[in-house]
Structure 1
Amino acid sequence: MKITLIDAGKRFNRDWIFRHLQYHFSPAHSYAIIGPNGSGKSTLLQAIAGAIAISEGSIHYEGSAAIAPDQAYKRLSLCAPYLEVVEEMTVTEFLHFHGSFKPLILPVPAIIEKVGLAAAAHKQIRYYSSGMKQRVRLAQALFSDTPVLLLDEPCTNLDSDGIALYRRLVAGHAANRLLIVSSNDLDEYDFCEEKIDIRDYK
């Protein structure tokens, strides 16, 4: 899927977060949205995901044909530390529940094994550490069968083993997808082919 931003801008009250952003995101390529904390990286990623509306300009989604903006979410997966997981569920239940909305590329037990949560597969997510919950978010996004993968500060709360896992998962499961990473941590995006500094669009 291709995503094109045409003179896109977003403001809250009188403050412009970004403006006059003209960009084309191509399938099977990787991009990083960079900038300091509070610069608007997450806002831009959420706008691309269709989670928030832009204030000016337009965003176009295209597969084999044009895709209506309100249907684009079906082809997008988003991982972000602020996204809630259903803590009353086990990770097994949660991934089966998620898979009822978006198909998964592997069976749930295999996904749980790949993200290192097999020992806690039947424990309620409420008892997970913050790092384990982030592994659940990564599993939900990376193993959804979608052509677009959006990652917002994907290594939040991960230790060194978790960061290494993240990089293996991206290498193994994101190569043929449109990947956009929002981050100010080089370990999260140094493999990206293009960098977009949001400070250039203020």
Structure 2
Amino acid sequence: MELEKRLNLCQSKKPRIFVEVLAVKTYINLQIILQNLGKRFNREWIFRNLHTTLQTGQSYVFVGPNGSGKSTLLQVLMGAIPHTEGTIQYTKDTSEILQIDDWFRQMVLAAPYLELIEEFTLNELLAFHQQFKPFKKSITALEIIQKLELESSQHKLIKYFSSGMKQRLKLGLAFYSDVPVVLLDEPTSNLDARWSAWYRAEVQQLQAEQLLIICSNVPAEYDFCSNVIDLIHYK
């Protein structure tokens, strides 16, 4: 019963996970327009008066010490929590305004607070993910598994993965999903030096066509970004 609940879809698709490449979309020209954006918890302002435009083909990093509001801002940008003041507008091709459901289809997130479905195996999770966010046309599910060096864990439940394996998987899903917007929060947490180097090599390939947004206070995670916004100035 539990297996059926986990993946009726996987029983029919599991053999195809290694060879199927789903149709992909050309990246749209997408902008996130922030006007006097602010977020308050109780009486404390986490950030306020944030005014900027984020667009595809650019990379941005929000920096600041622990507790400066980086993770909160990222969750506001993705639509997970509401903002207190100001506006956020998601536009397509500079004029069409995207509704929140359309926006969710355009973005992918990797963050410490993002929970993977631990009752799935790796194969099942990749198959499930593709139902909502197809992989880029240049890569298959098997190639993703190989890039993450998880070949021996294809049939292992995610709940038995180490913290480092889970973080690699989160980043892999973010890097290889065919969406215009990639959001990363503390991307090298739980990664050793070797996998941190892998992160840097992979993430820099996203800057040319996608909108890359990173929240971090570790320079090695973002020193390649062209736009740096320090949240300490928005209090």
Tell me, yes or no, whether TM beats 0.5: yes
1:171 & 1:121 partners in 2: Cα distance?
27
Which of 56, 77, 88 aligns to 1:59? It is: 88
Q: 1:122 — aligned with what?
A: 155
Over the aligned positions, Cα root-mean-square deviation in angstroms equals 1.2
Q: 2:106 — aligned with what?
A: 75
Which of 131, 147, 161 aligns to 1:100? It is: 131
* Higher Rg of the two aligned structures: 2
1:155 & 1:142 partners in 2: Cα distance?
13
1:175 & 1:89 partners in 2: Cα distance?
33
Q: Report the secondary structure of 1:149's partner residue.
A: strand
Structure 1 stretches (4+) deviating beyond 6 angstroms?
Answer: none
Q: 1:86 — aligned with what?
A: 117
Of the structure 1 ranges 10-19 and 163-172, higher mean CA displacement relative to structure 2 is found in 163-172
Q: Give the aligned length.
A: 202
1:103 & 1:173 partners in 2: Cα distance?
16
Q: Report the secondary structure of 1:116's partner residue.
A: coil
Q: 2:185 — aligned with what?
A: 152
Instruction: Describe the shift of the 1:149–1:63 C-alpha distance in structure 2 as closer, same or farther (beyond 3 A).
Output: same
State the identity as a percent: 49
Q: 2:6 — aligned with what?
A: none
TM-aligned CA deviation for residue 60 of structure 1: 0.7
1:172 & 1:113 partners in 2: Cα distance?
18
CA contact (8 A) 1:149 1:174 kept: no
Structure 1, residues 2-50: CA drift from partner, whole Å, max 9, x if none?
1110110000111100001001112110011000011100001111111
CA contact (8 A) 2:204 2:224 kept: no
Q: 1:14 — aligned with what?
A: 43
Q: Report the secondary structure of 2:105's partner residue.
A: helix
Of the structure 1 ranges 167-176 and 74-83, higher mean CA displacement relative to structure 2 is found in 167-176
2:150 & 2:105 partners in 1: Cα distance?
26
1:148 & 1:189 partners in 2: Cα distance?
16
Q: 1:23 — aligned with what?
A: 52
2:132 & 2:100 partners in 1: Cα distance?
18
CA contact (8 A) 2:110 2:184 kept: yes
Q: Can you give the 5+ residue segments of structure 1 that lack an aligned partner in the other structure?
A: none
Q: 1:191 — aligned with what?
A: 224
Of the structure 1 ranges 76-85 and 166-175, higher mean CA displacement relative to structure 2 is found in 166-175
Q: Report the secondary structure of 1:170's partner residue.
A: helix
Structure 1, residues 75-128: CA drift from partner, whole Å, max 9, x if none?
011110111111121222101101111111132111111222222222211221
Alignment of 1:141 with 2:174, yes or no, is yes
Q: Report the secondary structure of 2:174's partner residue.
A: helix
The letter of the residue matching 1:38 is G
CA contact (8 A) 2:34 2:51 kept: yes
Alignment of 1:43 with 2:72, yes or no, is yes
Q: Report the secondary structure of 1:89's partner residue.
A: coil
2:126 & 2:206 partners in 1: Cα distance?
17
Q: Can you give the 5+ residue segments of structure 2 that lack an aligned partner in the other structure?
A: 1-29
Of the structure 1 ranges 116-125 and 25-34, higher mean CA displacement relative to structure 2 is found in 116-125
